[in-house]
Amino acid sequence: AGQERGQAGPMIIVRPETAAEQDAVADLLRRSYGREGEVQRLSTLRASTDFLAPLSLVADNAGELLGFVLFSKAGIMDGASTVSAVAMGLLAVLPEHRRQGIAERLMRHGLERCRSLGHKLVFTVGDPRYFSRLGFRPSAPLGLASESPATGGQMLALELDGKLLASLKGVVRFPPALK
């Protein structure tokens, strides 16, 4: 588990979520987003084959969950074949703990776990200026489009092994719950 001190001094441990923490994670999502949509997305993902339990991570401060990130299955449809990938979907930090580096720690730890589990490509949707510090790049110039037009302009790609993106062109499939 990744351990780092935040600015206020708490010991943050980034680790996989446990089954007993599902309600606490749902509450964290509600408090972070102020709505139920993300809780429903997570519930739908957990019930699908796209859910990757080892990549459902929490930021734990002595038993208090301060943040959450979920990476799930994704794919690139390249002609007749599909190349497996991972989508970084839900990311949340409690409002009172934002701007302490917790989200970045969650993402960095999650990307390292993705790499250690053999995943080679990660996609997300978001502000390129924010995610570029983690190595994400806009996917459109790479020849990768999103199957969802709403996410296309903000879709970003990160290569974990440095070998695939140059040879891939196609459409990225996110799990239905993340569209």
CA distances from 149 to 11, 70, 98, 174 (A): 41, 22, 30, 12
pLDDT tens digit at each of 179 positions of the chain:
444 444 445 688 999 999 999 999 999 999 999 888 889 889 988 989 889 999 999 999 988 999 999 999 988 887 777 888 899 988 999 999 998 889 999 999 999 999 999 998 899 888 888 899 898 988 887 778 777 655 556 888 888 877 766 677 878 887 777 76
Considering only CA atoms, give the Rg of the chain: 16
Query: Are 111 and 72 a contacting pair, CB within 8 Å?
Result: no
Closest C-alpha among 105, 94, 131 to residue 5: 105
Query: Are 109 and 135 a contacting pair, CB within 8 Å?
Result: no
pLDDT at 164: 65
